Amino acid sequence: MTPSNAASLRTLLRHLAASLAVSSAAACGAVVSTNGGDAAVADVPVTDAPAVDAPVSDADRCASYSTSVGNPCFDQGRMFPCGLPAGVVADDGGTLASSDCIVLCGSFSGIPSYSCSVARPDGGAGVLVRCNYACGTGRRTDGVDWAPVDCDGPGGWFAHVSALEGMAVHAFARMGDELEAWGAPASLREGAARARRDEVAHAAATAALARRFGAEPVSFDVEAPSPRGLVDAALENAVEGCVRETWGALVAWWQAGHAGDASVAAVLRAVAEDETRHAALSWELDAWLLPQLDDAGRSRVHAARAAALDALRGEIADPPPAVTACAGVPTRAEAEALFDALAPTLAAA
């Protein structure tokens, strides 16, 4: 199966979602979430800091560990006692690339880090990274700043999804401008333009669902994107498109078949169709970009894709029960089965 073939990818994702199906979710409102912020802390990947009076190896001494920063639900930190890993560099404002955030921050209660920054040095060689998390998945890009809200229930979950869909509007707009400047094939330019229109519709539909379930959509600020070259574009596309959008499309197909509300399922079915096409576009773009890179650039892209796949597997956790019941978000066991069925295709591509 070639991931850039949208029809074949659609067939695969629908087959995986259907073949792993279990009993359908309860109706919306039938389950009350009990997933609080304190309980979620256990889902953060943690390496304990070594005791100061114990002999430790260099690896143990430099092992990162989690620490609380600000809001305990959506604002966590990871301390790197020996400084940031080699090759990870913050910009002038202290912000790190989203692909680095995925690897450095991991997930919080199954929620991936969508952005991160250097909060402050710890007084020595160590660096504290501030990790920001959100509910749901989406194609992220740099230059977006937002304030997450509680996503224990369907309203908050859809509010976050709406913001992620809005973020994807800007990601595809940026892609379209770059493809135009680089003289990319018409199929890629047209695909980016259509994907942008799709994401506008997704943002509106999920915002309406957020309001229906008692939450207001999340507002966010967007900065003008900085110019970038083919390597940086390929790195973002490998992580956000080839890995995360393909996974997001599979999850959307699952949700469409398991949402406990017919109108929610209808929205998710339309999203699944579109996101499958976006994932295929990402793989088509990957196939166009890679031959234009040198060996070092291609190696970086392949490594970023592999790292994103590994990080994604580690992010899987049980969502709030009310979100599973209403929106059909897969449980940990269901998501692990879906991921394990999809991963070989992504790893071999």
What is the per-residue pLDDT for 128? 86
**What is the C-alpha end-to-end distance of the chain, expressed in Å?**
9
The structure tokens listed for 339 are 């991921």
What is the per-residue pLDDT for 238? 94
Quote the CA–CA distance of 330 and 336 in Å, as a whole number.
Answer: 9
Give me the domains of the chain, ranges plus CATH numbers: 6-36+136-348 (1.20.1260), 38-72+75-133 (no CATH)
Q: What does pLDDT average to over the chain?
A: 79
The neighbour count for residue 62, using CB atoms within 10 Å, is: 16
What is the per-residue pLDDT for 134? 52
Quote the CA–CA distance of 178 and 181 in Å, as a whole number.
Answer: 5
Whether residue 41 is predicted with pLDDT greater than 50 in this model: the reply is no
- Tens digits of residue pLDDT in 179-224: 999 999 999 999 999 999 999 999 999 999 999 999 888 777 777 7
DSSP string over 79-138: EETT-SPTT----TTSBPPHHHHHHHH-EETTEEEEEEEEEEE-SSS-EEEEEEE-SS--
| pLDDT grade for 1, boundaries at 50, 70 and 90 | low
Whether residue 93 is predicted with pLDDT greater than 60 in this model: the reply is yes
Query: Which amino acid, 33?
Result: S
